[in-house]
Structure 1
Amino acid sequence: MSDQGAAAFYDARPWERCYGTHHGTDPTLQELTTVADIARRRAEQTPRLPAYTACLENGLHASLDFATVDRLADCFAAWLIAEAGIRPGDRVALQMPNSLPYPIAVFGTLRAGAVLVNINPLFTPREMQHQLSDSGARVLVIVDLFADKLSGALTGTAVEEVVLTGIADLFPWLKRGLVHGVLRAKREIPAAPPNARRLGAVLSRGEHLGPQPWPERGADDLALLQYTGGTTGLPKGAELRNRNILANLGQISAMAGDAIRPGQDVVLTALPLYHIFAFTFNLLTFHHYGCRNILCPSPRPVDKLRKAFEQFPVSKFSAVNLLFHGLLQAEWFRNNPPRHLDFAIAGGTALHRSTAEQWRSLLGHTPLEGYGLTETSPVLAVNPPHGENRLGSVGVPLPGTDVRIVDDNDQPVPQGQTGEIVGRGPQVFEGYWQRPEENRLALRGGWFHTGDIGYMDSDGYIHIVDRKKDMIDVSGFNVYPNEVEEALAEHPAVAEVAVVGAPRGEAGETVVAFVVTPGDEELTEPELIDFARQQLTNYKVPRRVIFRDALPKSAVGKLLRRDLREDARAVIEPAAA
């Protein structure tokens, strides 16, 4: 097949005939200009419906209705504008687990005209400092459990205001006091920095200030700086504009059709909202539809979700393969599967066929596997809810999305042949924050180059055969070797280092480091792993360190990680056995 013939196959969009008969557009989304409009519109339509319920592992819970979310978002926005001095386009960073303050801070930040920057709460001070300094964030909202990281994280950043939240903030006072009292007794809440403010005081001050002249923001304005490793290197901010995110909401809505019931569904959010998948799908989509969102701070171990499943009629659920697998292994879940649950979607990492089949056997439906990236807001493709759910595939491109498989010269390859997955559509970002060279490479020819390798079958279903070059998938979290290598290289006894991933069953991969030390330096595996724990989030820390006299390199001195992968596999597999 010629290049023209291959291009014609993709241009014909064969996937559109696979959507099914119940998909369609939601006209109300077309009336929105910014992401912040979602909260205002929903508060006007169904003010007293429950919007968010935070459910802790002990079963304690508290809820906010849509009107209260909107009102408190106004309070936070008023404080940002009047007292924090935030102006349109300034960045506000949020670093907290799933909890009631999170949607308040999201919609308040956007209403103030600021740009949202999500940060993983588990990040080390070193990782925080990179993201805060790179984004230029002026305000940081952080959960008080990790306030001890601030002294090392704020150096060299533009952060002027720090707002502390608690895991039970916005609970009734008795429940809030009980939860925070227990945490303090266990010494899990460190001393607060002297200049930090509490969220409750900020909201009270914002309420006293009253509504401000809200900045006018448009569809082209930046809404979110969502950090990702992209295809290489240290995390960088993908610039997601209002129109990118709203377009993806519209595409999700078109695919879902009547699979989502406005005002009726209850979604359990166990995946972290600071991740783009849960942010767009769980937070924004279900807020737009007026559905109740059950927020769980952590899904690990899966027993932490038991009370949420038992106390609420959960009908929608999103997860990664490891979480599906974990629930299926839990006796309480198998013995009493949630009887209202009729829809589950899988993303972040490949859904194992055995896991999907066990889920279907227990619950009567197969999780819909999808595919997306931070740079695509994030959904690029999904198995259609009203079409064929094809196991082993990540589904078909969303409406209005073009996907091609291309060779090393960016020429489309024939249907069924393997190449790099590239895409374009209204949800695709326009570039990384202050990274012009990265943008040139990632968006060449008007197509976003995902770095993922796959093929498309005759019906337009996408099959991924390899993840991004060199990227390591640890339980659904992306680990980029360059970042880990840079952290390990700071140890004075490390001369050279290469990091690769080795398969680890249901958990995806494990991180393995190959290290060369100077001849006169002594370094042990436990010592270097302990050093890594001080520099990196736990899932990025190597589980094995292998010492070598030299590392394989190309003629120009580039590390050849591919030559180390089999060695890493040989070390990990016997240990797993």
Structure 2
Amino acid sequence: MTTYTDRPWLALYEVGQPADYEIEYASALDMFRAGVAQDPAGAALHYFDGTIYRQELDELSDALAAGLLANGFSAGDRLAVYLQNVPQFVIAMVATWKAGGVMVSINPMSRRRELAYLLEDSGATVLVSLEALYDEVARDVVPDSDVRLVLTTSELEFQTRDDDRLFAGMSRQRHEGTRDLREFVEEHRGQAPPPVQLAPEDVAFLTYTSGTTGVPKGAMNTHRNVVFTAQVYRDWARAGRDGAIFGIAPLFHITGLIGHIAVSMLVPAPLVLAYRFEPQVVLDALLEHRPAFTIGAITALNALLNAPGFTRGHFSSFTSVYSGGAAISPTAEKAFLAATGTPLHNAYGLTETTSPMTVTPFGSSSPVDPTSGALSVGVPAPNTVVRIQDDDGADLPLGEVGEIVAHGPQVVAGYWGKPEETAANLPGGALKSGDVGFMSPDGWVFIVDRKKDMINASGYKVWPREVEDVLAEHPAVRESAVVGVPDERRGETVKAFVSLRAGAEVTVEELIAHCRERMAAYKYPRQVEVIDELPKTVTGKILRRELRDRPSGG
């Protein structure tokens, strides 16, 4: 029998079935408990100068779970977490599972309208929030929601070295109608919730899609999804096997939930948190804690390389670095290796695939497609079938471009309370990704672009990624984003938004000429606009939709 170690991406096509890869635990809670039993005195979380050990994390989450149950929380109830990258996020997650519930991860950048929608859609009955976020946003939303208990906490907890770069002017706040999380836990310290046995198909957490094609949808990530993808990170990306994991991605995002928290529980390995992404703070934390693995958006990694004081030594402890959440170019991959001495591997997945569906196996180099110049995002993860399909859902031959469709243990059960959207986007349990790409004969997957971002210029298809990769080759270009804009003659024409490296100078005409020399006439940008910063999501994805709506020169 072919196993996942024997070139599984070829097994998908030569054998005709996924490789045999055992899922080790019935639930993420079982996975956590096994990690505690394996290394109870080991560090679970580092947060600046504070450390929470595994046994302590177990006790804190026990107390919180007991308190939740004593205050009316029941199996299947939802607890919403409205936090930055702080230890309380992990404590609340584990406690929710111990109480038999479902965690709802909420972007801390969400404002009133967004928070109100997420609380209403999920039906959350408990909210764990940073004090400042409650004061600024949640206090006006909670009264109109199903939330019965609000636990507030501070980013100043669990550490004593207040960093003025992050915490200047911050102080503890108490709000009427809320309970302090630390005091709530202490009230129930020493208590444990009744034993709960969670099943693989039970929902571990709801993660909300970005809503780029409509209202956000709550992806139902099951315990089976979580355990499987944590194993993929451990076994294929070498996550946690050589030391600590650095949490560069937001914990509310699927990359942070799996590539940081879940895999740290599985290995087990320490997880290093630094509140939120601030390049100088992150660089200091890398030197202090010497982590061995991280996965994050290329935009965040590039920000570290361009931060004042960056040296090769900041990454000298790493054995494995992966990029996910936003596509990377061959130029960016080479630049990272040159700057750090550490290879940058690629992975690809969505909220609905509970992080990776394709991975570049650790130690392998992603090939570059000679025609498009795109860097591969890896090969199908074990037990995963990736297909390329046309608009009618028919499989396309290897090498042809179509929609990427995935089926495997990481694909979510559906969208919370949205059966029609589930049927449309997950027909038969296979995820229609909305990304367009192709697969090589060896099983390497290449993303061309988002289906909806394709530009139709005089009847020719132009994929923004290809233009962005060419722009990345210019030494003055730091980042770029390409969109289609209305054009009377061509219907649509190609426009590039570009931000420059510090101290670099280049004219618009020079950038257009750079592309014209390297691309077919219908592809190169007719318009280029240089701006200071490209708009991004909190996870580092560039927001092309905002650029399309941007007034010319505005």
TM bracket (short chain): 0.7 to 0.9
Tell me which of 283, 291, 305 is aligned to 1:328.
305
CA distance in 1, matches of 2:266, 2:246: 16
Match of 1:388?
365
CA distance in 2, matches of 1:502, 1:243: 43
How far apart are residue 16 of structure 1 and its match? 9.4
Q: Is 1:312 aligned to 2:289, yes or no? A: yes
Residue ranges of structure 2 left out of the alignment (5+ in a row):
1-8, 369-374, 455-463, 466-477, 480-493, 501-534
Match of 2:121?
134
CA distance in 1, matches of 2:229, 2:399: 27
Residues 31 and 227 in structure 2, CA contact (< 8 A), matched pair in contact too: no
Tell me which of 298, 301, 315 is aligned to 1:338.
315
**Paired letter, 2:114:** E
How far apart are residue 541 of structure 1 and its match? 12
Q: Is 1:237 aligned to 2:218, yes or no? A: yes
**Paired letter, 1:90:** D
Q: Is 1:206 aligned to 2:188, yes or no? A: yes
How far apart are residue 287 of structure 1 and its match? 2.1
CA distance in 1, matches of 2:63, 2:226: 24
Match of 2:76?
89
Match of 2:65?
77
Q: 1:287 to 1:537 in 2, by over 3 A?
A: closer
2:433 match: secondary structure: strand
Match of 2:386?
403
Match of 2:348?
371
Bigger share in helix: 1
Match of 2:432?
449
CA distance in 1, matches of 2:176, 2:59: 29
Match of 1:522?
none
**Paired letter, 1:112:** A
2:452 match: secondary structure: coil
**Paired letter, 1:415:** L
CA distance in 1, matches of 2:545, 2:249: 27
Q: How many residues align?
A: 469
1:435-480 residue CA offsets vs partner (Å, 9 max, x unmatched): 111111112244211111111111111111112525999x99xxxx
Tell me which of 235, 252, 258 is aligned to 1:280.
258
**Paired letter, 1:45:** Q
Residues 36 and 111 in structure 1, CA contact (< 8 A), matched pair in contact too: yes
Match of 1:557?
none
Higher RCO (Cα < 8 Å, 6 or more apart): 1
**Paired letter, 2:305:** L
Residues 255 and 385 in structure 1, CA contact (< 8 A), matched pair in contact too: yes
CA distance in 2, matches of 1:243, 1:404: 22
How far apart are residue 309 of structure 1 and its match? 1.5
Match of 1:484?
none
How far apart are residue 156 of structure 1 and its match? 2.7
How far apart are residue 81 of structure 1 and its match? 0.7
CA distance in 2, matches of 1:278, 1:504: 29
Match of 1:195?
177
Residues 231 and 451 in structure 1, CA contact (< 8 A), matched pair in contact too: no
What are the equivalent positions in structure 2 for 1:87-486 lying under 5 Å apart?
87-148=74-135, 149-171=137-159, 175=160, 186=169, 188=170, 191-207=173-189, 210-229=191-210, 232-256=213-237, 259-260=238-239, 262=241, 264-300=242-278, 302-334=279-311, 336-391=313-368, 392-469=375-452
Match of 1:54?
47
Residues 255 and 399 in structure 1, CA contact (< 8 A), matched pair in contact too: no
Q: 1:294 to 1:252 in 2, by over 3 A?
A: closer
**Paired letter, 2:180:** R
Of 320-329 and 151-160, deviating more is: 151-160
**Paired letter, 1:226:** T
1:122 match: secondary structure: coil
CA distance in 1, matches of 2:158, 2:257: 20
**Paired letter, 2:153:** T
**Paired letter, 2:42:** L
Residues 252 and 398 in structure 1, CA contact (< 8 A), matched pair in contact too: no
RMSD: 3.5
Residues 146 and 189 in structure 1, CA contact (< 8 A), matched pair in contact too: no
CA distance in 2, matches of 1:113, 1:99: 23
CA distance in 2, matches of 1:385, 1:12: 18
Q: TM-score, normalised by structure 1?
A: 0.74
Residues 390 and 402 in structure 2, CA contact (< 8 A), matched pair in contact too: yes
Residues 63 and 188 in structure 2, CA contact (< 8 A), matched pair in contact too: yes
CA distance in 2, matches of 1:544, 1:422: 23
CA distance in 1, matches of 2:545, 2:395: 40
1:111-156 residue CA offsets vs partner (Å, 9 max, x unmatched): 1101000001111011100000100000000011212212322243
CA distance in 2, matches of 1:260, 1:292: 11
Q: 1:366 to 1:136 in 2, by over 3 A?
A: same
1:152-198 residue CA offsets vs partner (Å, 9 max, x unmatched): 22243100111111112133xxx27x679x95x82x45854301111
Q: 1:395 to 1:230 in 2, by over 3 A?
A: farther
CA distance in 1, matches of 2:98, 2:340: 40
Q: 1:38 to 1:544 in 2, by over 3 A?
A: closer
Residues 323 and 344 in structure 2, CA contact (< 8 A), matched pair in contact too: yes
CA distance in 1, matches of 2:333, 2:309: 19
**Paired letter, 2:12:** R
CA distance in 1, matches of 2:14, 2:41: 40
CA distance in 2, matches of 1:540, 1:352: 14
**Paired letter, 2:204:** A
Give the ranges of 4+ consecutive aligned residues of structure 1 lying more than 4 Å apart after TM superposition.
14-17, 188-191, 470-473, 536-545
Q: 1:314 to 1:506 in 2, by over 3 A?
A: farther
Residues 380 and 386 in structure 2, CA contact (< 8 A), matched pair in contact too: yes
Residue ranges of structure 1 left out of the alignment (5+ in a row):
1-9, 56-60, 477-500, 508-532, 546-563
Name the % identity. 29
2:51 match: secondary structure: strand
CA distance in 1, matches of 2:208, 2:245: 25
CA distance in 2, matches of 1:154, 1:265: 41
1:506-552 residue CA offsets vs partner (Å, 9 max, x unmatched): 79xxxxxxxxxxxxxxxxxxxxxxxxx9xx9999999999xxxxxxx
Q: Is 1:45 aligned to 2:52, yes or no? A: no
How far apart are residue 78 of structure 1 and its match? 0.6
Q: 1:539 to 1:351 in 2, by over 3 A?
A: closer
Residues 144 and 189 in structure 1, CA contact (< 8 A), matched pair in contact too: no
CA distance in 1, matches of 2:539, 2:308: 28
CA distance in 1, matches of 2:338, 2:10: 38
Q: 1:544 to 1:377 in 2, by over 3 A?
A: closer
Q: 1:24 to 1:442 in 2, by over 3 A?
A: closer
Residues 231 and 468 in structure 1, CA contact (< 8 A), matched pair in contact too: no
How far apart are residue 362 of structure 1 and its match? 2.6
